[in-house]
Structure 1
Amino acid sequence: MEQASPGEPTPVLDVRLGRVREREWVRIGRGVHQRRDSDVEHLDLRAWQLVLPPLPEETPVFVAMPRTGPRVRRRELVVTRHPVAPAYVEVSGLRVTRDEIRLAARRRRGAPRLLEALQLSDAASESAWESVLRVLHHVCEVPVVAQHEVHDELGVFVARGDLWIVGWRRNGYTSGDVLHRAVGILRDADEALGRTHDPSRVRAWHELLRGSLFSAAGTRAVVRHWGRRR
């Protein structure tokens, strides 16, 4: 199998998103799997890039260190110091911390905003885009249930839906719908709930998007913020 070079797209055949049960696939995290016999370097890290918004080129490297370690000051680094040494895994000899959310949720700058985001999380979500779609419904005041199971009249399992709304019907959406045509998703939800369609409800979603890396404005804000910290 040909090995990808740094910066090249991850081979689609080596990564799968969503629910996967075949033995030839290894679970990296919720909703992310890699082929067991793949020899693509850093495939797990590349796989996560498929479910996250692209980071700006100007984003610095984030480093987590224990407070007992030497104080490092480099313009290209943003260093956070913690009372306990962060857990890490080794990737090609490099220590990579994968517990940033837990560490950052402690009392430090930005913690309140992070805790707000954590309150929107749901452990039942099985993919990043499913989470984004669920948050869209949440901020538009549409109650949903993640991973809702459907059974027939005998109680036999039939299917499972990523999200369920009372008055359920089957709908499928793309990432483009979520980011650019959210009012159409809201219209479907209003119809399922039997309530009057109010396009103004989508404003809260658009406000979240403007502050995220899914928008040009949010990306510029991130670059400005971390530029001041460097």
Structure 2
Amino acid sequence: MTSSTGARQGRDPQEPGIPNPVGAILGEVRTVGHRRVSFGLYRPLTDGTEFEELIRDLHALRLVMPPDAAFTHLTAALLRGWQVSKLPANLPVFAAVHSGTRRPRRPGLLFSRLVGDRPAEMRHGLPGEPAEEILLRVARDLGVMDLVIMIDSALQLGDIDVERMDRLLASRRPGVRALRAAWQASDGRAESGGESVLRMFHDALDIAVEPQAVLRDDTGRRVGRADLLVIGTREVHEYDGAHHRDGRQDQVDLRRERGLGTSYRRRGFTLDDLLNQPATVMHELDRVLGRRHEPARLRRWRALIAGSMYSDAARQRLVNRWQRAVGVVDWRSAA
């Protein structure tokens, strides 16, 4: 079956002028040695990392997208290497096109309208919307916790133009209110999504902290940095995730802790602690800080979790919404 035959049967014709660096094939059924990216769209089978495979799939999908299309929403966030919270399985591909441009209807490909005339920003040879527009689109779907994780990461990578963000937040476009709340709670010093969650936990519990605080011994010599230092105390609070379990990072942490001696008290927190055992952790911290328990703090934190993709219910609501918009979300199994 040739691509022209495929077009006569209702498949999308390949857009002219679109580069095809992954050798994708449109309109021909290929099985052995090929990966099905979408209905009638295949590319050679490869064995790369999850990120590398995503990049190859997006290059292949460009063959059925309008030339002016740009990736956006969570797709563009992943393309930029931003930290994200827990993603649902079979995430659709998000893209945007100018008004009046034909939008191909394909399972798993969700289009929205481009706003303004700013050129796309290229990442890995693929076009994406500017960072502020990506975040605004995400803000219409995701919770504040999800947004803060992404904003922290984008700031850490230098992807956000603060002046453009300020202008966007002064507008009345849909999603601005949620994005503004997340922007005010963000901090570009976080070096991982787990650190962002840990800082938000402390904020919800009214515990003032300094992110990436410089630690010094009794002589004033610098001995390292901490994810969080509780202001006014010698309490060092850190996220115990993959970053701190890395072999090289373990060695750095051990050298730092030997240098600290007993002047600081380190406490480690896992994602399970923060999401599933927050009451236990809150009571422990209240005892350490010598203050009374306030149930409102815990309710505030649980509300953040409930609105985020760490919540099974919230994640399912998103999947249902996207499924209604694009039909079958798992485009690789679409007939």
Residues 148, 164 of structure 1: 8 Å contact kept: yes
CA distance in structure 1 between the partners assigned to 2:311 and 2:93 by the alignment = 21
Question: Shift in Å at residue 112 of structure 1?
Answer: 1.0
Q: What's the TM-score, normalizing by structure 1?
A: 0.68
Unaligned runs of 5+ in 2: 1-45, 54-76, 139-164, 236-264, 327-335
**Greater Cα radius of gyration, structure 1 or 2:** 2
CA distance in 1, matches of 2:104, 2:201: 39
- Check if 1:187 corresponds to 2:244: no
Task: Specify the code of the residue in structure 2 equivalent to 1:72.
Answer: R
C-alpha distance after superposition, 1:161-181 (max 9, x if no partner): 101113323101112112111
Is the Cα contact below 8 Å between 1:209 and 1:218 reproduced in 2? Answer: no
Change (3 A) 1:102 1:122: same
1:83: which partner in 2?
116
Q: Deviations over 1:49-85 (max 9, x none)?
A: 8x53342245432213456x72536363131312133
Q: Which runs of 5+ in 1 are unaligned?
A: 11-43
Q: 1:86 to 1:65 in 2, by over 3 A?
A: farther
> What residue in structure 1 maps to residue 224 of structure 2?
159
CA distance in 1, matches of 2:206, 2:123: 43
Asked if structure 2 preserves the Cα contact closer than 8 Å seen for 1:137 and 1:186, the reply is no
Counterpart of 2:202, as a letter, is H
Q: For 1:194 and 1:101, how far apart are their aligned partners in 2?
A: 39
* 1:65–1:85 CA contact under 8 A, matched in 2: no
1:37 aligned partner:
none
1:186–1:199 Cα contact (<8 Å) kept: no
Q: Quick one: structure 1 residues 161 and 115, their matched pair in 2 at CA, closer, same or farther if it must change by over 3 Å? A: same
Which of residues 74, 85, 89 in structure 2 aligns to 1:53?
85
- Identity between Structure 1 and Structure 2 (%): 33
Where 1:172 maps in the other structure, the secondary structure is strand
Corresponding residue pairs, total: 192
Q: For residue 196 of structure 1, report the CA deviation from its aligned partner.
A: 1.8
SS at match of 1:164: strand
Does 1:219 pair with 2:309? no
What is the Cα-based RMSD across aligned positions, in Å? 3.3
Contact 1:63 1:78 in 2 (8 A): yes
1:129 and 1:175 in contact (8 A); partners too: yes
Deviation at 1:154, TM superposition (A): 2.8
What amino acid sits opposite 2:135 in the alignment?
Answer: I
Q: Which moved more, 1:132-141 or 1:164-173?
A: 164-173
Counterpart-to-counterpart distance in 2, 1:183 and 1:151? 32
C-alpha displacement of 1:7: 5.4
